[in-house]
Structure 1
């Protein structure tokens, strides 16, 4: 299984690049970080043969998975922090394989909103 990860730094701004890359490289799974928006273009990925699931957040953060395989979402929050509202984690199961996508903060102090 070919699995890739990409910090897209705004799916809206990079959608064309992501689609081109998916068409040329044809990974089984792509995990994306820093979606930076609430509207995830699932239909664009479906047209390329990918199922998707996003954990979006307005303005910053946000993670997603697109996969050529059916998957089951296991978790959308960092383990041990069920009240996490930062949209930084997605965990799925694909045919018995657990795949985790995570966006780690950029080093802002813990007390800041963006941590």
Structure 2
């Protein structure tokens, strides 16, 4: 069973390219971020023609998360408990909840597609929002694990954090900037301290997952590693392979992020190569 995450940076602009990759790499489940559309605007047909069902959470032209799966999805959950909001206060004195978190269960494995707030600047309210959002996600994840002991779970997506110095091309460029600050890195480390595993890094896989469109960042390999799959030990035990698909940053109209994929030793209803026994 192949599971992947990809910040697609507008699904409407890249639907054909996304589906081509899904089919070519034989992916069963893809968590997408930054779909940048409402459910009724999502290019469903190209995914459905390729055999993928969809779960979509998008509110406007910003943010947005989704899943495309060839396997049945259940326990679909929009957002997590006490997820913080951001923006102009609503009439009920709460803040608007953004489309940044979507959970599903596939083959008894809990998966989340997550688009962590950017933070913008260290002095910006969005930075405080980012740290609060991450802490609530950590707490919600810990509570779920306590209620579902032994169940495999993965948090997948664009974390907008480069946890280590090697995860950016030049730390001097990021002096005083978001994504590498001590509080952000501590927030990321908190998930690992709770027992989650950085699936790709734990297998010695290095490399960036994001390159800005400007200043020839990709040809110069001036990138960042900010897209991750963090799994519980039970999820990690199922992993037989993991990869970062750097080549998807090449070619015509790519996203500025690339997919991160894991292969799990899980039998599914799609398996058709099991010998028949009479």
- Normalising by structure 2, report the TM-score: 0.38
Deviations 1:39-73, CA, capped at 9 Å, x for gaps: 11222211101111100121210000001100114
Indicate the structure with greater strand content: 1
Q: Structure 1 residues 25, 105: CA separation in 2 closer, same or farther (over 3 Å shift)?
A: same
**What residue is the counterpart of 1:36 in the other structure?**
36
Does residue 107 (structure 1) correspond to residue 119 (structure 2)? The answer is yes
> In the alignment, is the contact (CA less than 8 A) between 2:117 and 2:126 conserved in 1?
no
**What residue is the counterpart of 1:66 in the other structure?**
68
1:81 to 68, 80, 83: 83
CA distance in 1, matches of 2:115, 2:10: 13
Indicate the structure with greater helix content: 2
Does residue 48 (structure 1) correspond to residue 50 (structure 2)? The answer is yes
Structure 1 runs of 4+ off > 4 angstroms? none
Q: CA RMSD in A?
A: 2.1
> In the alignment, is the contact (CA less than 8 A) between 2:4 and 2:30 conserved in 1?
yes
Unaligned runs of 5+ in 2: 86-95, 131-278
CA distance in 1, matches of 2:109, 2:15: 27
Aligned length: 114
Deviation (angstroms), 1:111: 4.7
- Is the partner of 1:99 in helix, strand or coil? strand
CA distance in 1, matches of 2:76, 2:125: 27
Q: Which stretch shifts more, 45-54 or 83-92?
A: 83-92
- Is the partner of 1:6 in helix, strand or coil? strand
> In the alignment, is the contact (CA less than 8 A) between 1:40 and 1:56 conserved in 2?
no
> In the alignment, is the contact (CA less than 8 A) between 1:35 and 1:61 conserved in 2?
yes
